[in-house]
Amino acid sequence: MSIEHRDDTGARFGMWLFLYTEVILFSGLFILYAVALSKFPQDYAVASHKLNVWFGGANTLVLLTSSLTIALAVSAIQMGRKKQCLTLCWVTIGLAIVFLINKFFEWSAEISHGIYPGSEQLAAMGPGVTSFFNLYYFTAGLHGLHVLIGASLIAVVAVMTAQDKVTPERYTLLENSALYWHLFDLVWIFLFPLYYLIL
Amino acid sequence: MTDDTHAPVPYRTFILIWLALLILTAITVAVSRVDLGALNVWVALGVASIKSSLVIFFFMHLRQESRLFKLGLLVMLMILAVFIGMTFLDVLYRGAM
């Protein structure tokens, strides 16, 4: 008999601490946004109108729903419903893929209009619009990268759940992956109105 | 052991929170189409903060966690406020030179 050291609360708290560092990382970008917005309010409104609210809105719905499905997945494993938990994990990953496909079409359309960092057409629109799109590509890009990481993490945990390495008695790994996933839903909750919805 | 894991949250609660988030998103979009001047950005941030608290307290189970977790969030938010406040103390008064 080996004595196993195990501290689920500690593992969750560690995850929360890590998430705080992620918030600080993204807050740097949001502060840059706030400073530039106060400097170029008109340009930011003009630039925001060039973004497609439908793409942004659709992705908001996709992310909110994926947050629901992963939260339900945690409840499912707690109640011992392994099959439901797995289905909910795969739905979450499916929604993440929908999000990224949406992003691909959105960015393709913008890039084809000459709107991308370093573009001469963008530079001709002035420093305000340029700073808006540079920040937009950087923040949304970093967010998209995190969505990709989060979905991969959930895929690994789903496989472990199928192999009974994540069980109703021991599901911290799933819960921490869910926490990570929710954080990027949170980042998008701020990103969407600030970039897509300026009047 | 019992302190280490939470009681499962019923599906119904999560679905209600999700509906509330959808309604709040609709409100954000609707309000953003009305010209309120500088107030627009504050309304957007206010609604986003309400949505965030729903996600943090329900989806992320903060409601079920101990005081330590809630204190952690508070400390992080205070660091953030200092971070933002100091930046604007610099930026807003640069023109006065």
- Reported as a pLDDT band with limits 50, 70 and 90, residue B2 is very low
Instruction: Kindly write down the DSSP assignment for every residue of A30-52, as one continuous string.
Output: HHHHHHHHHH-HHHHHHHHHTS-
**What pLDDT, in 10s, does the model give residues A96-124?**
999 999 999 999 999 999 999 988 999 99
Please give the pLDDT value at position B37.
81
| CB-based contact B40:B31 (threshold 8 Å) | yes
ipTM of the modeled complex: 0.91
Q: Is the dihedral of CA B25, B30, B33, B36 positive or negative?
A: negative
CB distance from B54 to chain A under 8 Å?
no
Q: Where are the domains of chain A?
A: 16-196
Please give the pLDDT value at position A12.
95
Beta bridge partners of A183: none
**What pLDDT, in 10s, does the model give residues B27-58?**
999 999 888 888 888 999 999 999 999 999 99
Q: What is the mean pLDDT of residues A178-197?
A: 96
Would you call A80 helix, strand, or coil by DSSP?
Answer: coil
* Dihedral angle computed from the Cα positions of residues B31, B35, B41 and B47, in that order, rounded to the nearest 10 degrees: -10
Residue B3 has pLDDT above 70, yes or no: no
CB distance from B48 to chain A under 8 Å?
yes
Would you call B81 helix, strand, or coil by DSSP?
Answer: helix
| CB-based contact B25:A60 (threshold 8 Å) | yes
Beta bridge partners of A167: A170
Q: Where are the domains of chain B?
A: 1-65, 66-97
Q: What is the DSSP letter of A167?
A: B
Contact B55 A67 (CB under 8 A): yes
CA distance A76 to chain B (A): 8
Mean pLDDT of chain A: 94
Contact B14 A71 (CB under 8 A): yes
CA distance B72 to chain A (A): 8
CA distance B97 to chain A (A): 16
Count CB-CB contacts under 10 A for residue B78.
Answer: 10
Global model pTM greater than 0.90:
yes
Beta bridge partners of A170: A167
**What pLDDT, in 10s, does the model give residues A25-72?**
999 999 999 999 999 999 999 999 999 999 999 999 999 999 999 999
- Reported as a pLDDT band with limits 50, 70 and 90, residue B65 is very high
Please give the pLDDT value at position A4.
77
Please give the pLDDT value at position A11.
94
Q: Which of B23, B41, B78 best probes binding to A when mutated, by most A CB atoms within 10 angstroms? A: B41
Q: At a CB cut-off of 8 Å and minimum separation 6, what does A70 contact?
A: A88, A89, A92, A154, A177, A178, A181, A182
- Reported as a pLDDT band with limits 50, 70 and 90, residue B1 is very low
Share of chain B above pLDDT 90, in %: 74
CB distance from A156 to chain B under 8 Å?
no
Give the CATH architecture of domain A16-196: Up-down Bundle (1.20)
**What pLDDT, in 10s, does the model give residues A133-155?**
999 999 999 999 999 999 999 99
- Reported as a pLDDT band with limits 50, 70 and 90, residue A3 is confident
> What residues of B are in contact with residue A197 (Cβ under 8 Å)?
28-29, 32, 44
Alpha-carbon distance of B71 to B76, in angstroms, equals 9
Smallest Cβ–Cβ distance between B32 and the set A8, A71, A199 belongs to A199
